[in-house]
Structure 1
């Protein structure tokens, strides 16, 4: 009994440590994202550029997902069940913004393609008004997987189920095995289209880079690096999509292995990727970096670049 008690205490301490570590990381990542968001809203010149507008949309989406996923983690840790109708709303909205990040990345890639390959039409195609329309399209496209999951769940779930309470998770809406396959197929289709867009943009920008003069080559090379970064961010999103399959395989082997892999996946692909990649992207831009440094140092750094 004493050995079992010692093991239980050790496991509980390990779980508590992991929960505290997640809270620390969430706070750090949210502070970084908030700094980037505040920088965007403080500088009016960013409000007229499609590139920065889409970047702000991605930051807001990632910050929302960070907050909601952390709240659900805490709620499930304390075994606090909520009514399924409320969990349904939370899960659909969360899935919308999970999908919004890769869709926004695709839109940002297209903006770089227009800026480099169609510079004469960039002001027309990437105006502030069209950026607002693009944001609406991003949300409509991103909502399709969540709405599809919701509609199927409402069609096959008994009405009395909505009044019941349970631990909230996306898995509870997948009542049949074919639902998992359908959700996976839809996600894979989305990412296939996104990969095609990014590869097309990269190839077209590469052609322009080879034909560019010396004075334009540096700008074109920056565009290539930006598209490459978008491809890396999209890869992280794709890996996050594969996580449930990896975790399911681990669950068949060992429950402890399943818990460890799920925890690592959450840290690397749900938390870190939603902060580090946007931070790298923001700091690569000279104008945005100068503004971030100015507000991070509370105005002590005076050498801001004018827009």
Structure 2
């Protein structure tokens, strides 16, 4: 009888220890990310020449978008780990921001690739929308597309008519607002279209720059740099697409390891959500020579 009574206590202790380990892994990682992003944003705010260039404005927008995405994702992670419950009306904004910013990332990458294309092919007569003082119009359109997609996803789901959204506490997970089969199909089709369109745009810009390299009268170094930038955006897109590999990893882990479901979910969250979002802006930021020089001076 004593052994039987000790089993639940051991299981609870092991679960609590697992939660502490997960939190201690995520929090320092996220703090380092915030520190690096804060340095980059400080550099952009302190040096006017960055905010007068469309490329850096789009990069700043990507930094802010990824910061919002990671901030909401980490908050939701901590709430789930701590079993914190609150009304649906407070949960939905966090889920909305997390989903909209996630959808926004591939659109930003496609826009940044198109900006390099415009800079190479129209260096003197750049279209008005791609100038630094008008680029906010394109940024606003990207936000609208992401928000419309998310609102549509939430609108076609089931509505909690028997639950008081203002007072009934729930565990804030995505299944609260997105659990019906039609929503699953809508998200799958939407994500495929999003990423396929972005991949086509990147491939188009890369091929066009590659084919026109010999015809352009510009510096070969700048053209080569633009090609490498487009390739980098393609790599960033692949990092974003890692978020959709969780069914494969879950199957492999279940077949080859005896992991708990919450451990599998944490592995997917950390490896395929946090790390790609952390690496994507840092790779792009530290690759840029001008920005890298300012980053070194700021840290020193």
Task: Provide TM-score, normalisation by structure 2.
Answer: 0.89
Structure 1 residue 115 corresponds to structure 2 residue 119: yes
Structure 1 residue 172 corresponds to structure 2 residue 176: yes
Query: Which of 264, 269, 274 is matched with 1:266 structurally?
Result: 269
Deviations 1:169-209 (A, max 9, x none): 11221232221111111111111111111110111111123
- Assess, with a 3 A threshold, how the Cα gap between structure 1 residues 123 and 145 changes in structure 2: closer, same or farther: closer
State the match for 1:10 in structure 2: 14
How far has the Cα of 1:89 moved from its partner?
2.1
Distance, in Å, in 1 between the alignment partners of 2:258 and 2:172 is 20
Structure 1 residue 41 corresponds to structure 2 residue 45: yes
State the match for 1:103 in structure 2: 107
Structure 1 residue 74 corresponds to structure 2 residue 55: no
Q: Is the 8 A contact 1:58 1:101 kept in 2?
A: yes
Q: Is the 8 A contact 1:64 1:97 kept in 2?
A: yes
Deviations 1:19-69 (A, max 9, x none): 111111011111111111111111111111110000000001111112111
State the match for 2:242 in structure 1: 239
How far has the Cα of 1:78 moved from its partner?
1.4
SS of the equivalent of 1:209 reads: coil
State the match for 1:279 in structure 2: 282
Query: Which of 263, 288, 291 is matched with 2:291 structurally?
Result: 288
Structure 1 residue 24 corresponds to structure 2 residue 28: yes
Aligned residues, how many? 294
State the match for 1:305 in structure 2: none
Distance, in Å, in 2 between the alignment partners of 1:10 and 1:175 is 30
Distance, in Å, in 2 between the alignment partners of 1:159 and 1:114 is 53
SS of the equivalent of 2:99 reads: helix
Query: Which of 125, 140, 143 is matched with 2:144 structurally?
Result: 140
How far has the Cα of 1:129 moved from its partner?
2.6
Q: Is the 8 A contact 1:117 1:204 kept in 2?
A: no
Which structure is higher in helix share? 1
Distance, in Å, in 2 between the alignment partners of 1:274 and 1:57 is 14
State the match for 1:225 in structure 2: 228
SS of the equivalent of 1:141 reads: helix
Task: Provide TM-score, normalisation by structure 1.
Answer: 0.87
Deviations 1:277-300 (A, max 9, x none): 211111111111122222222xxx
Distance, in Å, in 2 between the alignment partners of 1:129 and 1:196 is 28
Distance, in Å, in 2 between the alignment partners of 1:206 and 1:30 is 36
Q: Is the 8 A contact 1:251 1:257 kept in 2?
A: no
State the match for 2:197 in structure 1: 193
Q: Is the 8 A contact 1:39 1:291 kept in 2?
A: yes
1:80-99 matched pairs, under 5 angstroms: 80-99=84-103
Bigger shift: 246-255 or 127-136?
246-255
Deviations 1:248-283 (A, max 9, x none): 757986882543332222222322222222111111
